[in-house]
């Protein structure tokens, strides 16, 4: 069990780190920690997700908890089921984009509010390790099944406003995007599918659109045909990558700006969050569309909490997570795709034409450096850039009139992560090298 309890979820190699016995104990620990009466469980397509589901359900029902089994589901669907069914909590059994030998659990309390290391995962770990479970209940819980798909699909479809079907390529990566994509109708999209057979061994490529190597096949397909854009789902479909009609990858912050425009059409003047690694252009586009731009720190638990506090209609993260108030402040990659299509349809422009005026600055991309002492790095940066506008929403951010950078430390490794942007390519490269020289010392 060593190391399976992470900052945002539970994750490990099946049969080694994460076993049925562990899942059973986690079920009992969740029952003690959350005290739920009803609890939703869904699972992905990995062959070992069903035995883990059975074991966790057994642990919960032993403690008197009624389990609602939503079966094979994307992570956004599990969040929707939690909120829609008024459950006291939920779990989706998945290891997201990790290779096939991995599995895991994403746990929420009521209203699909995520449980992170700081808000419950550490407590659940302690209960499991101490085996300090409550006594079995006098009345065992029961397991019922519920198909959330019709309600989730119908709800997300209400946002579609395409004048005619758009031609899209979708790389399902043999994962839960196949379920998530059930939202899409023939009136929305003329779909050319790729890797659309569920297979938890991921025979074609890793289901991770952040790894650009995984996008080679869909890029080639787009280049060879006439399409409006491409969508690439990750393993549990809570993230999506987008490519334009030319097969070029569109960065996630540019998609955040486009989705913001679509959501502000429907909800004028609303608050919208963008993660602090995003281009300055995202804030500008939100303002130009009449919205209230708000900066968030990195990490879904933080973003969802900030959204609830501000009643924000949407948030986008540089990792391809797109969060919507209308999915209980959680991800819906299908809704993100519909929003992109709405903007293309409304404007009559191609995706590359829409993105071009938003690509106003030059970003270095996230650069990781292994360091011996993180605090020494921060002191050196403070000394060098003491004249900048500095803020500490997540790590240290330093802003000047024509460039900015953020440096964050990893939660789990002796790493610091640099994101930097400037008004010209030459300045970006010069400042990137300058800051990296200080970091790497």
Domains, the chain, ordered by start: 10-149 (3.40.120.10), 163-358 (3.40.120.10), 362-440 (3.30.310.50)
Per the annotation, the verdict on 296 as an active-site residue is no
What's the pLDDT at 299? 87
Among 74, 90, 96, 179, the one annotated catalytic: 96
For the question of whether the overall pTM of this predicted structure is more than 0.85, the answer is: yes
Instruction: Say how far apart CA 75 and CA 411 lie, in whole Å.
Output: 24
What's the pLDDT at 199? 97
Which residues does residue 42 pair with via DSSP β-bridges, in sequence order? 71, 92
All residue ranges of the chain with pLDDT < 50 are none
Do the beta carbons of residue 397 and residue 420 sit within 8 Å?
A: no
What's the pLDDT at 2? 60
- Tens digit of each residue's pLDDT (9 = 90 or more) over 397-420: 999 999 999 999 987 678 899 999
């Amino acid at each position: 069990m060593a190391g399976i309890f992470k900052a945002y979820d539970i994750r490990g190699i099946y049969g080694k780190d994460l076993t049925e016995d562990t899942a059973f104990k986690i079920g009992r620990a969740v029952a003690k920690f959350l005290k739920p009466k009803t609890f939703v469980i869904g699972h992905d397509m990995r062959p070992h997700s069903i035995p883990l589901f059975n074991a966790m359900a057994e642990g919960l029902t032993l403690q008197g908890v009624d389990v609602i089994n939503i079966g094979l589901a994307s992570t956004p669907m599990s969040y929707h089921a939690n909120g829609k069914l008024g459950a006291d909590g939920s779990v989706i059994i998945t290891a997201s984009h990790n290779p096939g030998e991995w599995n895991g659990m994403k746990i929420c309390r009521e209203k699909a509010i995520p449980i992170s290391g700081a808000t419950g995962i550490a407590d659940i770990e302690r209960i499991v390790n101490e085996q300090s479970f409550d006594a079995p209940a006098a009345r065992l819980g029961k397991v019922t099944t519920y198909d959330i798909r019709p309600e989730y699909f119908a709800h997300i479809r209400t946002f579609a406003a395409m004048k005619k079907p758009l031609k899209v390529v979708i790389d399902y990566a043999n994962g839960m995007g196949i379920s998530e994509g059930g939202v899409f109708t023939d009136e929305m999209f003329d779909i050319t599918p790729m890797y659309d057979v569920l297979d938890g061994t991921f025979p074609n490529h890793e289901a991770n659109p952040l790894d650009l190597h995984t996008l080679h096949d869909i890029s080639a397909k787009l280049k060879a045909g006439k399409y409006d854009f491409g969508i690439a789902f990750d393993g549990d479909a809570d993230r999506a990558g987008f490519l334009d009609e030319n097969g070029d990858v569109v960065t996630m912050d540019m998609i955040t700006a486009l989705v913001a425009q679509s959501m502000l059409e429907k909800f004028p003047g609303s608050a919208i969050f963008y993660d602090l690694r995003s281009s300055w252009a995202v804030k500008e586009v939100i303002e130009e569309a009449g919205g209230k731009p708000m900066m968030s720190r990195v990490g879904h638990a933080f973003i969802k909490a900030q959204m609830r506090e501000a009643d924000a209609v949407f948030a986008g993260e540089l990792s391809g997570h797109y969060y919507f108030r209308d999915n209980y402040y959680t991800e819906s990659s299908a809704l993100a795709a519909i929003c992109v299509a709405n903007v293309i349809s409304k404007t009559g422009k191609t995706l590359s034409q829409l993105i071009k005026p938003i690509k106003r600055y030059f970003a270095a991309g996230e650069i990781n450096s292994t360091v011996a002492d993180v605090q020494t790095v921060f002191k050196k940066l403070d000394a060098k850039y003491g004249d900048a506008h500095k803020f500490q929403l997540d790590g240290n951010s330093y802003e000047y009139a024509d460039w900015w950078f953020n440096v964050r430390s990893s939660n789990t490794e002796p790493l610091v992560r640099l994101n930097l942007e400037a008004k010209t390519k030459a300045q970006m490269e010069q400042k990137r090298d300058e800051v990296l020289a200080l970091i790497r010392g």
